[in-house]
Amino acid sequence: MSLTFISVAGLSEDLAVSENIFLQVSAHDVRQRLDVFLSQKLEQVSRSAIQRWIELGHVTVEGERRKANYVLKQGQQITVVPPPPEPVELVAEPIPVKIVYEDDVLVVVDKPAGMVVHPGAGNRRGTLANALFHHFREISRVDTIRPGIVHRLDKATSGLLVVAKNDHAHDFLSRQFKARQVEKRYLTLVHGRLKEKEGVVDVSIGRDPWARTRISTRSRRRRQALTEYHVIRYYSDFTYVRAHPHTGRTHQIRVHFQHLGHPVVGDETYGRKVAQHLKDPSLILLIKNLGRHFLHAHFLAFVHPDTKQRASFETPLPPELAEFLSGLG
């Protein structure tokens, strides 16, 4: 079974591929090849796709077309005009789904790290949407690219997601998310030692003006973002934290802890430089072998569409994160 749609999904789950991207070459990026530079900045786009965009003229440097091996100079502005979105076929795939709870109107699933929520650029198959399309005959928004999907998690984030089986449940749950009435809690391990055992980060965020796949506190179009946190345990080089986002901005927890100077462990986008400066080589290797960032959506609570009663769900850390903590002693 399959359905075909025109994809408006983006370079990641939240950033639209149809928008032009503007990047500036910093002193750190000087003398890099054009394709290497773009691969680093546009992390969700494959190297081969970037080279194809360059060859077809979708990338310009100071308004001129260049080859993939062109060596960049400081201050140059690069413009990426992505090609029109291609049709995406949503194919039902028998991918295992870990079901935490199910009834007639909704399902709560525990998404593993590495699984994209719905198809988009570079992710045509193997998504949660493909799996849901296979497993559930009754599901909301069945004629869209995101059947049942009420909210999302980043690809490398594991944890709880609620899926709607009918349009009434979908609308009811969506209104709760929009009104910030859904309670979400995450378990995360961050670099360094947080000074305060609990606190609130109230810092507006938006798309980074120079790297459109990133979110930043420097954005010109910032939106309010608020994250409450409580320290669970201190380790010698890390802090284990429970984070409670009161808003649902893209990459919110990851950007907020980066803003505090304590990025999430394993976060290649916002914490790579901090990880490289760890003194213990074994810790650097441990993080590299983790293969994901340490962020898990372990708690979810909302008002049930049918019973109108509060329903809450929890899921423990996945094995790879639990083993990582054990490795820290």
For residues 140 and 166, is the Cβ–Cβ distance under 8 A? yes
Please, which residues bridge with residue 226 across strands? 202
Q: What is the DSSP string of 87-145?
A: EEEEE-------EEEE-SSEEEEEEPTT--SS-BTTB-SS-HHHHHHHH-SS-TTTTSS
Give 280's DSSP letter: -
For residues 73 and 30, is the Cβ–Cβ distance under 8 A? yes
DSSP reduced 3-state for 155: coil
DSSP reduced 3-state for 243: strand
Strands 64-65 and 238-245: unpaired
Q: Catalytic one among 154, 237, 267, 280?
A: 154
Active site (annotated) includes residue 154: yes
- 326 vs 115, 254, 305, 321, CA distance in Å? 24, 23, 39, 9
Q: What is the DSSP string of 278-325?
A: -S-HHHHHHHHHH-S-SEEEEEEEEE-TTT-SEEEEE-PPPHHHHHHH
Please, which residues bridge with residue 189 across strands? 240
CA torsion angle 27 30 35 37 (round to 10): -20
Please, which residues bridge with residue 234 across strands? 239
DSSP reduced 3-state for 90: strand
Chain-centroid distance, C-alpha 225? 16
Q: Which residues are catalytic?
A: 154
